[in-house]
Chains A and B, each alone.
Chain A
Amino acid sequence: MKRYGARLLTDGALLVVAAFMFAPFLWIISTSLRLPQNSFDLPPAILPTTFNFDNYGEVFKRVPLLAFMLNSLKVAGLIVIGHVFISSMAAYAFARLSFPGKNAIFLIFLSGLMIPGQVTIIPQFILLSKLDLVDTHAALILPALINPFGIFLIRQMMMTISPSYEEAAFIDGAGRVRGYLNVILPMSVPVIAMTSVMTFIAHWNDFFRPLIFLNTAEKMTLPIGMTVLNGQFGAGNLSAILAGVTITLIVPMLFYIFGQKYLIEGIAGGGLKV
């Protein structure tokens, strides 16, 4: 009996928290479907009662939301592509090749993980402004291409691949470049997919760096564009603002549905081996 009560209590608490997690999403979506003049009305909408989709049209008319999303896609996408090659090449060197200073360089890379963004951002800003790259997407992409965490994860995985695969290719006359491209890289696809998903989400959602580097509206990425959206409508039309917020939920939802396997493996595989 006592055990039954405890179980009921646990289930109840877990469900209450789950409801608390879902409720803001329901409120955001329901309110986005209200008529603008009713957007602030109480009681708040948890389930949609009206289905006024005009707010969605209004958002796209007033704010270049689609352009923001394309900018985010471009920035995060190029970072992921660059990261795949740069990180996997470095990981290959650390995992499969021997050269003087290898361990020292690897340790320096790892200690780079400890340096917080706000320490490096000021000199990066100065450097990028001297190169005339402030207010360009390059300012967001270039510094993000170095990702010690990604290098670390891919290296861990590459070290588990048996050398015999590559040796077979060497006998056939392959060099290191072909060993990397034709043997090791294809075998590392799972870990690369995993770090790519993590990298994409981190940069899709990044707020701090675009806040510092971007000024013009056409170049803004989605997170920084959201502050523009908020400013555009002021406190006048909450429904339209929340229509914009609802649109931003689509990409994370797709990532959760299709990428969660990689995300969870990434956290399980790399995160806990500090």
Chain B
Amino acid sequence: MRMRRSVKDGFAGYLFLFPALLLFIVFVAEPLVVSVYLSFTQYNVITPHRWTGIDNLRQFWHDQRLGLMYGNTLKYVLILVPMHMILGLLLALGATRGISSRWKYFYRTAYYFPVLVTSAAVAVAWSFIYDNDFGVLNYLLGLLGIERIPWLQSPKWVYLAVAIYSFWKFIGNAFLYYVIGLQNIPRTLYEAAEIDGASAAQSFFRLTLPMLSPTIFFVLVTTLIGATQIFDEPYLITGGGPGDASRSVNMYIYEVAFQHHEMGYASLVSISLFLIILLVTALQFRFSRQWVSYNQE
């Protein structure tokens, strides 16, 4: 009887899994293998692919534009990751203090709502906000006596433009993760710390930060992966410009694959980005043991 049930279960297991497994093989596993294979070929989708060995790899090492894109992507990472991590935490700390739940709801709505709106729609509006002559932002700066800033025309300012938009659109993500993490810290711990005479700074560094470390780690990993793969924000607001100044690796992959139809080389570049993300994420998990504490009850 027992035996029959488990054999039947085994069959049922595969049956229940079948649709998901089939889709996973067709749209995730097989594409990954094909991507690696395509990296050694030249293929424009229309004519049959041609095996070119390490030609793509040679092109990869000498591709100066790609070097520039990797530099740009690194800039995005260095600007956006600390911004979301630190400002998101500060906002969450402010919005979880002893304030009425009505205020908490107000702040949560204000900071989180932009996350839900359609990026492609609001980015169109933001590209007008950044307009040099008619833009709202330069108008407001003018009121403060600050000269017009060429937000989208200068290779330097364009990063600040993307960062401000990214803050407005996505800070709610980090904010909400932190809010949930902070709310999960038992109140009694703070009361105990206060009885022991801990100062506000002490209870923040000795209690809040260690208790929040799993959340901080999660936000770090996800924002870093997100920033490395950045596409929508520069594509919609800067178009990668001026010139290539704000073009990310992911925008380059899109350009090579879907505008130049060089599927082979684009695959190689995408694999390179994947390997970098994998390596950085693995390193983060490796070093997380030193500062992330999960055993906290």
Contacts and interface: CB of A to CB of B under 8 A. Distances in A.
Contacts, number: 247
B117 interface: yes
A40 B134 contact: yes
Nearest to A28: B125
A118 B13 contact: no
Nearest to B22: A146
Nearest to A255: B116
Given A44-B139, A90-B16, A116 B121 contact: no
Interface string A99-134: 110100100110010111111111111110100000
Interface in A254-274: 255-256, 264, 267-268, 271-272, 274
Given A208-B232, A249-B117, A120 B218 contact: no
A136 interface: no
A20 B95 CA distance: 16
A208 B231 contact: yes
A26 to B, nearest CB: 11
Which of B10, B24, B270 has the largest count of A CB atoms less than 10 A from its CB? B24
A75 interface: no
Interface string A182-222: 00000000000000000001001101100110000000001
Q: Which range contains the number of B residues in contact with the other chain?
A: 35 or more
B16 A93 contact: yes
A126 B232 contact: no
Contact of A116 (B110, B128, B214, B274): B274
A226 B124 contact: yes
A151 B122 CA distance: 31
A125 B293 CA distance: 42
Given A89-B19, A114-B281, A115-B32, A267 B177 contact: yes
Interface of B: 6, 8-14, 16-17, 19-21, 23-24, 26-32, 34-35, 38, 43, 45, 91, 94-95, 97, 106-107, 109-114, 116-122, 124-126, 128-129, 134, 136, 139, 168, 176-177, 180-181, 214-215, 217-218, 221, 225, 229, 231-232, 235-236, 250, 253-254, 257-258, 263, 266-267, 270-271, 273-274, 277-278, 281
B125 A242 contact: yes
Nearest to A19: B110
A24 interface: yes
A115 to B, nearest CB: 6
Contacts of A43: 139
12 contacts: A13-B94, A17-B91, A24-B168, A42-B134, A85-B19, A114-B281, A116-B273, A118-B270, A126-B34, A205-B117, A252-B113, A271-B218
